[in-house]
């Protein structure tokens, strides 16, 4: 008894509501033995998917509860989406062990899983508002921003694969199923190729196989299950046998208004806005002085991309900045590039607050140009948990003076060298005044 074959036939029926009864099934496994039954099954599943694709073309917006599961990572959120790029997300649960580990290694995450619960995102594709109603803060970011647990993979409300399903995948019938109380039909998918060149863009398929369960009535994809390919970076995060599941519950189609994707801060909400600026522009916009020029001159560092990230309050009195500095290591030093990340501001972002707490709990005292600071060797803290250890130094120093908080993290730079850079920054700022601008 053979398994159902992968395949899709051109010219099969495109009727919008095909029969969803399993065709050619033989027992629980869905196996078919007769060649004609194989052909009918292939044509039937292709007709189903074509109808689902056509139905999705008529979906201008949808609203649903979405759950994403992958190993120990679990996210649940209420999502509203409108084509082409409008999206709102209200996080309800967010469990991500990778983010917990990252907090130990680099602390780079803008928000921790605990902080994301209760946060709402509102995006119209051109800008995204990150709204913390409990903290009464709204942060505007340029472009389309979503926080997800799987690196490089969009899952929350993401159905952009639908229009090209028939062209991109081989298919097979997986029979009837139920998703969140809704009868559905399962279809197994296998990429026809792992990579496609389209002259002006490259298309790669990060999954070696997948399965989609389509609602029997609306043909909406209620559940998507996928297994990463060997070439996908997700293999290193999830393991070779892991799978990713995305489920939709309480789906409402074409009932979301455009007003849902715009946001006007109410009175009492503190508003911050992000901007990417040149080093010179950033220095003029900060409400305090820092010795960036001296820091760049120290050891031949340069501002990565010539730009930094400024986040400032509409009130103009509070701001914080993130600057990444790089320098190529000399021949006598360990090969590779030194990377220094400076976060500094007279307002503590969520990330900076976590860094401050981490240094207070895990760091040691260090003298910085007459100032008491804290230093922690992040690499040493996690080397026993990583296979082969950490082959580059990961050190961070934090300090506070006159209401201005600074955090300098170094990769590929030793503790003493990083301390000298911080002292250089503070010393140069002394000459111009590391205080809030008049």
Q: Using the 3D structure, point to which of 228, 243, 268 is the last residue of a domain.
A: 268
Nearest to 43 by CA among 88, 13, 18: 13
CB 221 within 8 A of CB 212: yes
- Residue 437: inside a domain, yes or no? no
Q: What gap in Å lies between CA 213 and CA 185, rounded to an integer?
A: 5
Degrees to nearest 5, angle at CA 307 with 302 and 311: 130
Q: Using the 3D structure, point to which of 224, 245, 268 is the last residue of a domain.
A: 268
Q: Are residues 389 and 411 in the same domain?
A: yes
**Which positions ≥6 away from 108 have C-beta within 8 Å?**
102, 351
- CATH code of residue 193: 2.50.20.10
**Which positions ≥6 away from 374 have C-beta within 8 Å?**
359, 360, 363, 364, 365, 366, 397, 398, 399
Pairing mode, if any, of strands 270-278 and 137-142? parallel
Q: Are residues 56 and 129 in the same domain?
A: yes
Q: Are residues 63 and 211 in the same domain?
A: yes
- Residue 145: inside a domain, yes or no? yes
Q: Output the pLDDT for position 292.
A: 87
Q: Are residues 87 and 230 in the same domain?
A: yes
Nearest to 290 by CA among 363, 345, 331: 345
Q: Using the 3D structure, point to which of 236, 268, 300 is the last residue of a domain.
A: 268
- CATH code of residue 301: 3.40.1000
Q: Are residues 43 and 106 in the same domain?
A: yes
**Which positions ≥6 away from 206 have C-beta within 8 Å?**
152, 153, 228, 229, 231, 232, 234
Specify which residues 202 forms β-bridges with: 197
Q: Tally the domains of the chain.
A: 2
Q: Output the pLDDT for position 34.
A: 57
**Which positions ≥6 away from 238 have C-beta within 8 Å?**
70, 71, 150, 228, 244
Tell me which residue range forms the domain holding 394.
Answer: 273-432
Q: What gap in Å lies between CA 225 and CA 397, rounded to an integer?
A: 43
Q: What is the dihedral of CA 431, 434, 437, 438, to 10 degrees?
A: -60
- Residue 243: inside a domain, yes or no? yes
Q: Output the pLDDT for position 329.
A: 62
CB 345 within 8 A of CB 401: no
Beta-carbon count within 10 A of 208 CB: 17
Beta strand spans in 85-199 (E): 86-95, 119-123, 127-132, 137-142, 169-179, 182-191, 195-197
Q: Are residues 11 and 141 in the same domain?
A: yes
Whole-prediction pTM value? Answer: 0.83
Q: Are residues 196 and 298 in the same domain?
A: no
- Residue 438: inside a domain, yes or no? no
Q: What is the dihedral of CA 24, 26, 28, 30, to 10 degrees?
A: -40
- Residue 283: inside a domain, yes or no? yes
Q: Output the pLDDT for position 282.
A: 94
Place of tokens 């097979």: 172
- As averages over each run of 10 residues, the pLDDT of the chain (438 residues) reads 44 38 33 50 82 96 97 93 96 88 84 94 96 92 92 90 94 95 96 80 83 97 92 76 93 97 94 96 92 83 94 96 85 66 96 96 91 90 59 87 95 91 81 46
Q: Output the pLDDT for position 336.
A: 63
Q: Are residues 428 and 283 in the same domain?
A: yes
Q: Output the pLDDT for position 35.
A: 55
Beta-carbon count within 10 A of 60 CB: 12
Q: Output the pLDDT for position 4.
A: 46
Q: Output the pLDDT for position 9.
A: 38
Q: Are residues 50 and 194 in the same domain?
A: yes
């Amino acid at each position: 008894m053979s398994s159902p074959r992968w395949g899709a036939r051109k010219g099969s029926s495109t009727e919008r509501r095909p029969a969803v009864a399993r065709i050619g099934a033989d027992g629980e496994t869905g196996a078919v033995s007769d060649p004609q039954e194989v052909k009918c099954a292939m044509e039937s599943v292709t007709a189903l998917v074509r109808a689902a694709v056509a139905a999705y073309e008529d979906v201008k917006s949808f609203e649903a509860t979405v759950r994403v599961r992958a190993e120990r990572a679990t996210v649940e959120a209420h999502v509203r989406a409108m084509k082409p790029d409008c999206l709102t997300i209200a996080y309800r649960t967010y469990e991500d062990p990778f983010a917990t580990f990252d907090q130990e290694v680099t602390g780079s995450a803008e928000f921790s899983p605990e902080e994301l619960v209760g946060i709402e995102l509102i995006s119209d594709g051109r800008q995204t508002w990150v709204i913390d109603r409990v903290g009464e803060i709204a942060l505007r970011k340029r472009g389309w921003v979503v926080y997800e647990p799987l690196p490089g993979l969009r899952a929350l409300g993401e159905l952009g694969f639908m229009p090209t399903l028939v062209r991109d995948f081989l298919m097979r019938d997986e029979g009837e199923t139920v998703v969140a109380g809704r009868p559905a039909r399962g279809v197994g998918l296998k990429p026809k190729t792992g990579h496609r060149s389209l002259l002006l863009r490259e298309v790669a398929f990060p999954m070696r196989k997948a399965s989609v369960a389509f609602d029997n009535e609306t043909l909406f994809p209620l559940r998507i299950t996928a297994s990463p390919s060997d070439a996908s970076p997700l293999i290193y995060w999830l393991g070779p046998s892991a799978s990713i599941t995305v489920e939709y519950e309480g789906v409402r189609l074409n009932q979301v208004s455009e007003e849902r994707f715009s946001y006007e801060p109410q009175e009492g909400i503190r508003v911050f806005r992000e901007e990417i600026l040149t080093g010179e522009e950033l220095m003029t916009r900060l409400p305090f002085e820092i010795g960036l020029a001296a820091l760049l001159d120290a050891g031949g560092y340069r501002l990565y991309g010539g730009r930094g990230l400024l986040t400032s309050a509409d009130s103009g009195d509070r701001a914080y900045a993130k600057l990444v500095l790089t320098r190529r290591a000399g021949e006598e030093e360990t090969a590779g590039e030194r990377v220094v990340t400076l976060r500094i501001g007279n307002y503590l972002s969520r990330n900076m607050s976590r860094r401050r707490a981490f240094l207070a709990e895990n760091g040691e005292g260090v003298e910085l140009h007459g100032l008491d600071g804290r230093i922690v060797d992040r690499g040493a803290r996690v080397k026993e948990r990583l296979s082969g250890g950490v082959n580059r130094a990961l050190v961070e120093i934090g300090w506070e003076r006159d209401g201005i908080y600074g955090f300098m993290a170094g990769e590929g730079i030793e503790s003493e060298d990083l301390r000298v850079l911080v002292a250089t920054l503070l010393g140069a700022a002394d000459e111009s005044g590391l205080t809030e601008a008049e």
